[in-house]
Amino acid sequence: MRVLVIGSGAREHALCVALQSDPAVTALACAPGNAGTRSIAEAVPLDGADPVAVAALATSWGADLVVIGPEVPLVAGAADAVREAGIACFGPSAQAAQIEGSKSFAKHVMTAAGVPTARAWPVGGPAELETALDEAAALVPGAPYVVKDDGLAAGKGVVVTTSREEAVAHGHRVLEAGGAVLVEEYLDGPEVSLFAVTDGTTVLPLVPAQDHKRRDDGDAGPNTGGMGAYAPLPWAPSGLVDEVLATVLQPTVDEMARRGESFSGLLYAGLALTSRGIRVVEFNARFGDPETQVVLPLLETPLGGLLHAAATGALADHPPLRWRSGAAVTVVVAAAGYPERPRTGDPVTGADGEGVLHAGTAADADGTVRSAGGRVLAVTATGADLAAARQTAYERVAGVRLAGAHWRTDIALAAVEGRITL
Ligand code: AMP
Ligand code: GLY
């Protein structure tokens, strides 16, 4: 099976590592890829990610399966175009990807499916913003305000703040940029990312992981695309995956099918385990980054066969997933200035070390690796338990050099120290 992965982040590097170890995968390419993917997958150029270009590349490269990593090509219809070209594609249609592309669409689906989520107030203008903030404050007195950009914002469109002024300013910024705004009920409790592979009918959940969204140690600083992750979650209640499958994942997939917008691909449930029960924070329509970097190393089932089964409606016949024991930790090494204004073009050394997944990197003609994005590397390790995986991951971080780089030093620490409570 010839597999073409679309994207250029650490998620795609992790997908390539897992696909490469599947004996059924006879050829592997990543477009456009980065300086890391090119060491294990053929680098094929891809200009932008418009659906026509993706489908043309899939055809000319002779792909049997296309795996689309990021949300932007999915929302633009890349999976539809690949399927129209007669090639199996892992990833939802443009319509189904609206579950990530539009937070208000996701809310409609959840309401229809009876899936628990935060209450939300759509905001059309500045006056409605004030009313929505008043109503949110009345619902959970003393809780922070949650103000969201309704569209795709790479994880950076949300402000959670106790400052009314900051909440109003964020809302105005999004409205002035022509976007739509949602004010939401505040969800307390630890967050869980649970991925499920689905063909639109059958749903196979993966192991739960936890992301660290804030830039700095102790969950301080601004929201980012994700600064590190670990899996599994030693503190998660037993039965969590079954409960999320029964109350969130399956009802959502069924509701999408009922609407004629069948969702196949990776359904990512971002959850909060609140004092009032499980709530969906958001859905994504693709593998999460950085959680993929810790979930895939634990998956023993060959990835190519699994994704192909999902892409061809054959998941009901797929054997149950097998998992390795132990744990995985990934630490994101970010460029100076990330997330506001990442500096690029700095040389990176030590990036060919074991477990070092590339995110925003590019190689010069002479092989020098340079930073080419905000999140530059995702340094990953597995171990017998979370403490061991964490220690190895940070030893590997110490082997990397990038001027001005920053990373969190507390990835998975609260879990290792037993400080996460429900
Ligand atoms: P989102 O883009 O919706 O995933 O939001 C990014 C992050 O903002 C989430 O992972 C949470 O940490 C935080 N967040 C989003 N919505 C809420 C909410 N309703 N209550 C509390 N925190 C939230
Ligand atoms: N880990 C957050 C995301 O992939 O959106």
pLDDT in tens, 21-66: 999 999 999 999 999 999 999 999 997 779 999 999 999 999 999 9
Summarised one tens digit per residue, pLDDT across range 157-199 is 889 999 999 999 999 999 988 888 999 999 989 999 999 999 9
For a ligand 1 pocket test, name from 105, 117, 158 the mutation site with the most ligand atoms within 8 angstroms of its C-beta: 158
**Cβ–Cβ < 8 Å for 347, 369:** yes
Which residue owns the Cα nearest ligand 1 atom 7? 158
Q: Does the CB atom of residue 155 touch ligand 2 within 6 A?
A: yes
Q: pLDDT band for 153, please (50, 70, 90 cuts).
A: low
User: What fold does the segment set 123-179 form as a domain?
Assistant: Dna Ligase; domain 1 (3.30.1490)
Q: Does the CB atom of residue 187 touch ligand 1 within 6 A?
A: yes
Q: Does the CB atom of residue 407 touch ligand 1 within 6 A?
A: no
Helix/strand/coil (H/E/C) assignment for every residue in the chain: CEEEEEECCHHHHHHHHHHHCCCCCCEEEEEECCCCHHHCCEECCCCCCCHHHHHHHHHHHCCCEEEECCHHHHHHCHHHHHHHCCCEEECCCCCCCHHHHCHHHHHHHHHHHCCCECCEEEECCHHHHHHHHHHHHHHCCCCCEEEEECCCCCCCCEEEECCHHHHHHHHHHHHHCCCCEEEECCCCCCEEEEEEEECCCCEEECCCEEECCEEEHHHEEEECCCCEEEECCCCCCCCHHHHHHHHHHHHHHHHHHHCCCCCCEEEEEEEEEECCEEEEEEEECCCCCCCHHHHHHHECCCHHHHHHHHHCCCHHHCCCCCECCCEEEEEEEECCCCCCCCCCCCEEECCCCCCEEECCEEECCCCCEEECCCEEEEEEEEECCHHHHHHHHHHHHCCCEECCCECCCCCCHHHHCCCCCC
Instruction: Identify the pLDDT of residue 155.
Output: 55
Q: Which residue has the higher pLDDT, 104 or 280?
A: 280
Q: Give the residue from 81, 79, 61, 59 showing the smallest Cα distance to 69.
A: 79
Q: Does the CB atom of residue 226 touch ligand 2 within 6 A?
A: yes
Asked if the model's pLDDT at residue 269 lies above 90, the reply is: yes
- So what CATH class is 327-416? alpha beta
Using the mean position of ligand 2's atoms as its centre, give its distance from the Cα of residue 62 in Å: 30
Ligand 1 atom at minimum distance from 284 CA? 4
For a ligand 1 pocket test, name from 224, 282, 289 the mutation site with the most ligand atoms within 8 angstroms of its C-beta: 282
CA dist 64 and 129 (Å) reads 48
User: What fold does the segment set 2-92 form as a domain?
Assistant: Rossmann fold (3.40.50)
Asked if the model's pLDDT at residue 142 lies above 90, the reply is: no
Asked if the model's pLDDT at residue 361 lies above 70, the reply is: yes
Summarised one tens digit per residue, pLDDT across range 311-356 is 999 999 999 999 999 999 999 999 999 999 999 999 999 999 999 9
Average pLDDT, the chain: 95
Give percent above pLDDT 90 in the chain: 89
pTM of the model: 0.94
Using the mean position of ligand 1's atoms as its centre, give its distance from the Cα of residue 158 in Å: 7
User: What fold does the segment set 191-317 form as a domain?
Assistant: D-amino Acid Aminotransferase; Chain A, domain 1 (3.30.470)
Using the mean position of ligand 1's atoms as its centre, give its distance from the Cα of residue 299 in Å: 27
Q: Hey, where are the domains in the chain?
A: 2-92, 123-179, 191-317, 327-416
Please count the CA atoms within 13 angstroms of the CA of 171 that sit on its side-chain side. Answer: 28
Q: pLDDT band for 156, please (50, 70, 90 cuts).
A: low
Using the mean position of ligand 2's atoms as its centre, give its distance from the Cα of residue 231 in Å: 14
Q: Which residue has the higher pLDDT, 153 or 16?
A: 16
Q: Residues 256-269: what's their mean pLDDT?
A: 98
Instruction: Identify the pLDDT of residue 291.
Output: 98
Instruction: Identify the pLDDT of residue 158.
Output: 87
Instruction: Identify the pLDDT of residue 240.
Output: 98
Using the mean position of ligand 2's atoms as its centre, give its distance from the Cα of residue 268 in Å: 9
Asked if the model's pLDDT at residue 133 lies above 60, the reply is: yes
